[in-house]
Amino acid sequence: DAGVIQSPRHEVTEMGQEVTLRCKPISGHDYLFWYRQTMMRGLELLIYFNNNVPIDDSGMPEDRFSAKMPNASFSTLKIQPSEPRDSAVYFCASRHGTGGREQYFGPGTRLTVT
Amino acid sequence: KQEVTQIPAALSVPEGENLVLNCSFTDSAIYNLQWFRQDPGKGLTSLLLIQSSQREQTSGRLNASLDKSSGRSTLYIAASQPGDSATYLCAVIPSASKIIFGSGTRLSIRP
């Protein structure tokens, strides 16, 4: 398996633009997670899905952020409109089953909003 | 609220030394604990996962221990190598799907 795939790897955009980050989880994994990593706040869980259904979005910072998972092999994290403080590395991770299983992380998308 | 702390934030040791990285957490009611490695500009690589019923896990030169009652975990690295230089993250899994990360320890192994 190719692992968790994220695209793009780098994104530079201007403030106010819409940004869409994409993730393809490992085939067969039924949990998908979106994280954000910044120097100030470290790694934060934004939202996670189970069987394509959003379960907990309490980590989503504000309404400008939205995430979807239309099928088991694809998820998007959208920021509209983007702001400079959204600059961070966004990670997607997937896992099969609950609790005792490991999460597998993608390489991340480095977002810079100018 | 669960908080995960890693001290020190940075550590530099000469090659060949054995070393211990520390992780503490405030709520002992955890599901699992996981150690990750992150290289600069890269994603996270899982090193070891310790389930709540376990005391330790070993993989090669790495050994992770878990003491839930005291809220502590350690990652022991034997015979350190320059290639071990990275940031090491401790993550507590308080429920089936949540995960809370520490801020990491940036490890540098001097040749």
pLDDT digits (tens), chain B, 111 positions: 889 999 999 999 999 999 999 999 998 888 889 999 999 878 888 899 998 889 999 999 999 999 999 999 999 999 999 999 999 999 998 776 678 899 999 999 999
**Which site among A46, A102, A112 would you substitute to test the B interface, given the most B Cβ atoms closer than 10 Å to its Cβ?**
A102
Q: Is B61 on the interface with A (CB under 8 A)?
A: no
Note the pLDDT tens digit of each residue in A34-84: 999 988 888 889 999 999 999 989 899 889 999 999 999 999 999 999 999
**Which site among B34, B44, B57 would you substitute to test the A interface, given the most A Cβ atoms closer than 10 Å to its Cβ?**
B44
DSSP string, B56-70: EEEETTEEEEEETTT
DSSP string, A17-42: --EEEEEEPPTT--EEEEEEEETTTE
Residue type present at position A90: Y
Note the pLDDT tens digit of each residue in B56-74: 999 999 999 999 999 999 9
Angle at B41 between CA B81 and CA A47, to 5 degrees: 120
Q: Is B58 on the interface with A (CB under 8 A)?
A: no
Q: What percentage of chain A exceeds 90 in pLDDT?
A: 78
Cα distances from B85 to residues B14, B62, B111, in angstroms, run 11, 14, 11
